Amino acid sequence: MNTRWITVLGSALTLALPAVSMTAAAQDPSRPGEKKPEAARPQKKERAERKGPKVGDMAPDWSLPDRDGKTVKLSELRGNVVVMDFWATWCGPCIKAMPSVQAMHERFSGQPVKVFGVNTWERANGPDPVKFMADKKFTYGLLLKGDDVAKQYGVTGIPAFFIVGTDGKIIHTAVGFNPAEKDKMNKIIEDHLAKAGGEKPKDNNDKKEKAPESDDKSKSKDKPKDAKPATPGKG
């Protein structure tokens, strides 16, 4: 009698083990060694199929307040590369990505590159985004109330990155935190700036006084050529 039950239980376990293995594989289809970008998703009612602009499309225009309450308008930044990082204070992957965004801001300092964190999907009782960035000493641009812009760009997970070229067209998009993404984005920006050929930013309103022309043309010096984007040091 006991021998029969032992045989029956053994057969049942033999049949169950493959099913357990198949279930585990379905839950975690990734292969060892592969890392997928981490991204936070909104609640189900806010989820939508990605229908936003793609690489090569003109970036939809927007106007958003910055940390000082001043309005920033995308179309007025034409001539600059504009980096947008859609993020929220509660988003773990967003926080992991922020040091890389800060490093990008510092890397391209002095060049026609504008880096913005676009705060979106923020919770009513969550931390103040302005204080959050200040406490962590992040100094790149901050834009607030970005929910409508996130919808406009088809954002379905954060962090979400969009890079807009000097001509207003999108040159790169990415979703989630991936340590390797920083180097990729830096390379894309550098290559684009090199192709742009020193195009002057639209928002550069600095007026330079013209030097009086000399009667002796032989003493006149050649005008300096537009400086090419400096090769950034190792980050």
Within a domain: residue 30?
A: no
Within a domain: residue 121?
A: yes
Q: According to the model, what pLDDT value does residue 37 have?
A: 62
Q: Give the torsion sign (CA, 195, 201, 206, 207).
A: positive
Q: According to the model, what pLDDT value does residue 196 have?
A: 87
Whose structure tokens read 């988003």? 91
Within a domain: residue 167?
A: yes
- Give tens-digit pLDDT for 20-47: 333 333 333 333 444 556 656 554 444 4
Q: According to the model, what pLDDT value does residue 205 have?
A: 41
Within a domain: residue 206?
A: no
Contact 164, 59 (CB under 8 A): yes
If one counts every other C-beta atom within 10 angstroms of the C-beta of residue 97, the result is 27
The domain of 155 spans: 53-59+66-175
- Give tens-digit pLDDT for 123-163: 989 999 999 999 999 999 999 999 999 999 999 999 999 99
Q: According to the model, what pLDDT value does residue 129 have?
A: 98
Q: According to the model, what pLDDT value does residue 225 have?
A: 44
Within a domain: residue 4?
A: no
Strand order in the sheet with 160-164: 141-143, 113-119, 81-87, 160-164, 170-175
φ, ψ dihedrals at 153, nearest 5°:
-95, 5
Q: According to the model, what pLDDT value does residue 220 have?
A: 41
Q: According to the model, what pLDDT value does residue 165 have?
A: 98
Find the CATH number of the domain harbouring 135.
3.40.30.10
Q: Rounded to two decimals, what is the model's pTM?
A: 0.66
Q: According to the model, what pLDDT value does residue 40 have?
A: 62
Q: Which stretches in the chain have pLDDT values below 70?
A: 1-50, 198-235
Within a domain: residue 36?
A: no
Q: What's the chain look like in SS3?
A: CHHHHHHHHHHHHHHHHHHHHHHHHHHCCCCCCCCCCECECCCHHHCCCCCCCCCCCECCCCEEEECCCCEEEHHHHCCCEEEEEEECCCCHHHHHHHHHHHHHHHHCCCCCEEEEEEECCCCCCCCCHHHHHHHCCCCCEEECCCHHHHHHCCCCCECEEEEECCCCEEEEEEECECCCHHHHHHHHHHHHHHHHCCCCCCCCCCCCCCCCCCCCHHHCCCCCCCCCCCCCCCC
How many domains does one find in the chain?
A: 1
